[in-house]
Structure 1
Amino acid sequence: MQRNVWLIAVGLLVILILLNNSIYYFMTKKSLEESLEHELLSLAKQIEISVEQSRLGSEQFEKQIGRELRAAAIATQYALDSDIENVTDQQLKELALQLDINHISLLKRMQDDIVLYRSSDKTQLGKSTKNWVPWHSYFQQLFRTKQVNGNWLGQTLPHFWSGPFEVSSTDVANIYKWGYYYDGTTNYIIDPYVHYEYLREYNEITGIDKLLHDLLATQKNLLEITAINPYTFPDGNITGYADGQKRDHVVQRAILFGSYQHMLSKDEEAVQQAFTQRKIVTLEEKTDNKHLFKMFVPVDVKDKGINITNYNGEPMDHYVLSIVSDYSVITEELHAQFLNIGAIVIILSLFSFSIAWFAMRQFKLSQEKAVRITQETYVEEMNSLFHAIRSQRHDYLNHMQTIHTMAELAKFTELRQYTKQLANEINTVSDVIPVDNPAVAALLRSKLSQADSFKIKFECKCSPLQMKEMSGKTLDINRILGNLIDNAFDEVLNYDENLRFVELSCGQQDNRIVIEVSNYCPHAKQLQASMLFKDGHTTKKGSHQGLGLSIVKEITDRYRGELQVYSKEKEFITFLIMIPN
């Protein structure tokens, strides 16, 4: 039985430790995830600001290229004849070389078209612009000497318009920025243009590409930063032409800046959610090689100017920034913390087991000590009873001789007094106790005898008790009675003989054994009931251990009984015990 109790206790402790560790693990995991998310959010704001600063710097550089193209166009106008028929392709090639630009083309207005009539690049000659939307309409506005106006992105200056860097309609392998100038003094539009390498070199040195490269190099947990066009993500906007060639528009490209190599299944959905709802969206997913954590941050660029458009060529007012982090950073940190806490838990668990074992051992020893003391008291009480009986038997002949002599001498008055005293002494031991349990009856008879020897007036009022079937309860009932009566005897022995009064009342009521012990105690009102039953507490002088009343309370609680302490009368204290039978 004791072994099973230990196994149950150990099992419960192990379950509690495992439950505690599981709760700690998931709480720590959640805390680390939130910490990473907050860190990425803070980093995303910094990246957003840095990217925007670099992007605006790149666009300012691109606008400066536009102004230089306009200056090159004006220089070309002064160097050439006003009639396009008097201009040669060789002149344009020499001018492009002198002005340090890639090429110069001249556009001539025909009946129903505007064509590339002269050019330093022979591949451009004779190309129609009728299908160049919206460039063709802008050329018409320039020929009417109007300020270019339209939805498409571009840079408008007096008599000049320049679009963003874009794939060439006549050479899909290259990206250029073109400028178009016409002030009415010539019969052609001057079109100087430069290659994308001008802007690429800038970005590699101090632009967005440089910024993103440095950020990824300094932040070890970052894997990728991507600026996404939510209108065209993930495929971009590819236009097919009659000659079979296809062109992916730069201003409508899906990936604005950075790279897009770490793809997740829900990327497109997350991009649209971040874009339309203008809120940060996060994803966590395992790929073949990595466990990724992605954050999609909407970036507002309204009224800031951006050379990126939707499908209709209209400027965007915000785009989406994707930041990819290695989720294994969390798991590695979590595992490291879990190993540390695991070692601490094991040490604390062993320490707790040791304390629990020591406490249970001490408790067991305390119980064994209490039982031993009770048994010793019981044996003493029985020995006292037997001693009183043997004493009376031993004195029987002496008493009979005395009675016989007094009768012969006709000392009847003295005889009555003597026999009266003798009868009282015999009744003290021989009174019938109405209890059908021999052990309990023997204890009460012993206490009666003990009270007589101590000159204590001990009244025992017991109604019939049916205790034959109590079996294991007998010892506990005797322990309660013995400790309560002894406690009362010890108290009244402190006072004169005329104040030594103890009353015991016991009986059955509503299937409960009711025990009530009262004794004289002038300071009853000052006693605290809660302290009386505390293990080791005593108000007695001498070598008393203060265990009696604590044992009574422990037994009462074990049988789910009731225990009350109160002042029945003035200067009397009463202990009432009610135990289910």
Structure 2
Amino acid sequence: MRNVYTKVTLLLTIALIALLIANNLIYYFISKEKLERQEVDNLKSQAQAIHNILDHSREGSAYVERLVGEKLRAVALAIRSRLDPDIDNVTNEELDALARELAIDDVTLLTKEGEGFVLARSSKREEIGLSTNKWGLWNKVFLELYEKKNVTAIRWGDALDHYWTGPYSVSDTNAEEFYKYGYYYDGTTNYIINPFVSNASIRQYEQTIGIASIIGSITASDPSILEIAGFNPTALGRERVVAKTSSGQTYTPRYYAPVFFGTNAYAHEELDEKEIRRAIETKASTSYKADVNGRTILKTFIPVFTDKIDELGLVTDNSVRELEQNLDYYVIGIAIDYRSIQNQLNGILLEMGMIILLVTVVCMLLLLLLNRYFSRSKDQTAIEAQATYVEEMNVLFNNIREQRHDFVNHINTIHALAQVGKYGELRAYTQEVVGEIHDINEMLHIGNPPLAALIQSKLVQAQRKDIRFTYAFSNMSGFPQGVRSVDFVRMLGNLIDNAFDEVAKVEPEQRTVELTGAIEAGRLRFIVRNAGSIDEAVMDRIFESGVTTKPGGRNSGLGLPITLAIVRRYKGTIKVENDNGVKFTIEIPVAS
């Protein structure tokens, strides 16, 4: 039995540890998902902040650019006043001197030729002779200016009286250079005046407080952020767009560049394209985790929808002068080193490991203590049950020995009464002897020695307390093997003792206790009935520990709870009712 209990204890320990490990693994993966979600939420906040700062930055850039555009108009007015209105009377050297004097990079003069214009004079000699016929919308601007109309052909740049300036644009003679061009014509000359300056001022502004500076500050403050980039969705899944300057140089216009700003060194071409498209389609942030360039990265894409793409400086070159579509969104991508999350997860895993180890040790100690406690409790219960069993058997055997010892005295008495002829006294005496022997035979016919011993001991107790204790059993010869004798002795013993205590409260002539037992229809049934009654309020709680009907609450009130526990152990039932006295009924299913 002890080996079985040890195995059960071991299995319970293993099950508890397995449950604990499973619980902590679930917690680990929930924490992993939560950390990733928190990191994505943080990146979304970063992206929104970048977009907001970018908006403000471009507002500042636009303001600086407007100032430059206004300066170029003032320069154009000065040039008009200093030059001959006829292009034939203007030299390139004059333009060189004016550019130096007015602190601009260069100045070019455009003359009308057919449906376009030719760059006729310039301080930048390589521009001389270029035609605007293939400049699309910009050529329309020049035609509107030449007709002294307000510029409406293009939505970019700034239009003033007799003047228009576009955004910073790539140079037609050098694709590496960007300039701010201004165009002035009021009809007093036969040429359009075109002063321009490089984007040095804007570059300086960008380096100080622009997007590059912002990205640098963010990555410096959070080392886990590897890079930030502004992605161009229109460049996804298409070949690289190549444009040519008038001088034949090739380049990719910023409008068609895959990355508007920042860097994309940690690129996964397939996943980047897939997640960017999904971000645009769902209008929600998306993420993926992958190994790129020897690192595990978590890359998040946040779509940004805005009608200020032009103001963000993304349309800045002559190659898109005929662009008709509006781009009103872009995607901010942020790549972080997944080690930052993994380090937190490793910390959680370490903590969980320590917790599992600690709880395992505690559980083992508790189970060891419980094992010792229940072993002792079990041993003590067995000892007490065995003592009860032995006591009841001793009472029975002592009674039999006493009757056997008295048998000679009975014979001598009978013989003496017969000799003196006192037959009436002889008849009464022999009836008493036969009745006592009949009682012993009835007990022996019960068919179960422990039960017979219990009945004998309770008969002795009843005689001492002046209680009429009767019993009747049927079909008990085949007592079920599944029910331990120790258990039913404890059950019946508790019920009979309680019945004796109850009838002790009434007059002797009312002190009756009945016990019946039978095995019928696959059930073992015992009924203990005694005179008196139980209050209904007490009856509802009669099987609770500590509840007792004894005067002053004496004794522990544990007999009935113990009886209930034993009955339930055998999947039986016990009930109490007021039925011609107090009636307790126990029923236990047994194998047929």
Letter in 1 for 2:412: Q
Q: 1:131 and 2:141 equivalent?
A: no
Of 353, 356, 372 in structure 2, the residue corresponding to residue 361 of structure 1 is: 372
Change (3 A) 1:390 1:526: farther
What SS class does the counterpart of residue 91 from structure 1 fall into? helix
Q: Distance in 2 between matches of 1:458 and 1:159?
A: 130
Change (3 A) 1:477 1:447: same
Q: 1:109 and 2:115 equivalent?
A: no
Give the structure 1 partner of residue 48 of structure 2: 45
Check whether the contact 2:229–2:262 (CA below 8 A) recurs between aligned residues.
yes
Give the structure 2 partner of residue 390 of structure 1: 401
Q: Distance in 1 between matches of 2:436 and 2:26?
A: 73
Give 1:107 deviation, angstroms. 0.9
Letter in 2 for 1:259: T
Q: Distance in 1 between matches of 2:386 and 2:182?
A: 115
Letter in 1 for 2:314: I
Change (3 A) 1:526 1:428: farther
Give the structure 2 partner of residue 214 of structure 1: 217
Give the structure 2 partner of residue 579 of structure 1: 589
Within 5 Å, which residues of 2 pair with 1:131-530? 131-151=134-154, 153-233=156-236, 237-240=241-244, 245-264=249-268, 265-302=270-307, 306=311, 307-309=313-315, 312=323, 314-431=325-442, 434-467=445-478, 470=481, 473-493=484-504, 496-523=507-534, 525=536, 527-528=538-539, 530=541
Q: Distance in 1 between matches of 2:326 and 2:482?
A: 97
* Alignment: residue pair count: 580
Check whether the contact 2:503–2:510 (CA below 8 A) recurs between aligned residues.
yes
Change (3 A) 1:471 1:112: closer
What SS class does the counterpart of residue 145 from structure 1 fall into? coil
Give 1:176 deviation, angstroms. 1.6
Q: Which has the higher contact order (CA 8 A, sep 6+)?
A: 2
Give 1:263 deviation, angstroms. 1.4
Letter in 1 for 2:334: I
Q: Distance in 2 between matches of 1:60 and 1:203?
A: 13
Give 1:395 deviation, angstroms. 1.7
Give 1:312 deviation, angstroms. 2.0
Gaps of 5+ in 1: none
Within 5 Å, which residues of 2 pair with 1:558-573? 558-570=569-581, 572-573=582-583
Q: Distance in 1 between matches of 2:530 and 2:329?
A: 92
Give the structure 2 partner of residue 13 of structure 1: 16
Q: Deviation string for 1:20-75 (max 9, x for gaps)?
A: 11111112122222222222223332222111111221122112211111111111
Give 1:506 deviation, angstroms. 0.5
Change (3 A) 1:411 1:482: same
Change (3 A) 1:216 1:403: same
Q: Distance in 2 between matches of 1:69 and 1:277?
A: 45
Check whether the contact 1:153–1:314 (CA below 8 A) recurs between aligned residues.
no
Give 1:537 deviation, angstroms. 7.8
What SS class does the counterpart of residue 234 from structure 2 fall into? coil
Give the structure 2 partner of residue 65 of structure 1: 68
Give 1:366 deviation, angstroms. 1.9
The answer to which of 194-203 and 79-88 deviates more is 194-203
Check whether the contact 1:103–1:120 (CA below 8 A) recurs between aligned residues.
yes
Q: Distance in 2 between matches of 1:542 and 1:86?
A: 131
Q: Distance in 1 between matches of 2:111 and 2:168?
A: 23
Letter in 2 for 1:293: L
Q: Deviation string for 1:436-480 (max 9, x for gaps)?
A: 344434443444455335433111111122426617634433443
Give the structure 2 partner of residue 86 of structure 1: 89
Change (3 A) 1:470 1:279: closer
| Aligned-residue RMSD, C-alpha | 2.9
Give 1:251 deviation, angstroms. 4.5
Check whether the contact 2:185–2:192 (CA below 8 A) recurs between aligned residues.
yes
Change (3 A) 1:202 1:525: closer
The answer to which of 427-436 and 224-233 deviates more is 427-436
* TM-score (normalizing by structure 2): 0.89
Give 1:146 deviation, angstroms. 1.8
The answer to which of 153-162 and 423-432 deviates more is 423-432
Give 1:491 deviation, angstroms. 4.4
The answer to which of 356-365 and 85-94 deviates more is 356-365
Give 1:7 deviation, angstroms. 2.2
Q: Distance in 2 between matches of 1:86 and 1:515?
A: 136
The answer to which of 435-444 and 124-133 deviates more is 435-444
Q: Distance in 2 between matches of 1:472 and 1:569?
A: 30
Give 1:526 deviation, angstroms. 5.1
Letter in 1 for 2:358: I
Identity of paired residues, percent? 33
Q: Distance in 1 between matches of 2:329 and 2:296?
A: 29
Q: Distance in 1 between matches of 2:310 and 2:139?
A: 23
Check whether the contact 1:524–1:573 (CA below 8 A) recurs between aligned residues.
no
Q: Distance in 2 between matches of 1:448 and 1:175?
A: 120
Q: Deviation string for 1:493-541 (max 9, x for gaps)?
A: 5555334322111111211111112233554645346553648989589
Q: Distance in 1 between matches of 2:65 and 2:33?
A: 46
* TM-score (normalizing by structure 1): 0.91
Check whether the contact 1:166–1:251 (CA below 8 A) recurs between aligned residues.
no
Letter in 1 for 2:267: M
The answer to which of 162-171 and 312-321 deviates more is 312-321
Q: Distance in 2 between matches of 1:277 and 1:529?
A: 64
Change (3 A) 1:277 1:440: closer
Of 97, 100, 123 in structure 1, the residue corresponding to residue 100 of structure 2 is: 97
The answer to which of 31-40 and 521-530 deviates more is 521-530
The answer to which of 101-110 and 264-273 deviates more is 264-273
Change (3 A) 1:171 1:290: same
Q: Distance in 1 between matches of 2:65 and 2:95?
A: 23
Change (3 A) 1:55 1:187: same
Give the structure 1 partner of residue 58 of structure 2: 55
Q: Deviation string for 1:127-159 (max 9, x for gaps)?
A: 222222232222222222222222452222211
Give 1:106 deviation, angstroms. 0.8
Give 1:77 deviation, angstroms. 0.8
What SS class does the counterpart of residue 275 from structure 1 fall into? helix
Check whether the contact 1:433–1:445 (CA below 8 A) recurs between aligned residues.
no
Letter in 2 for 1:421: E
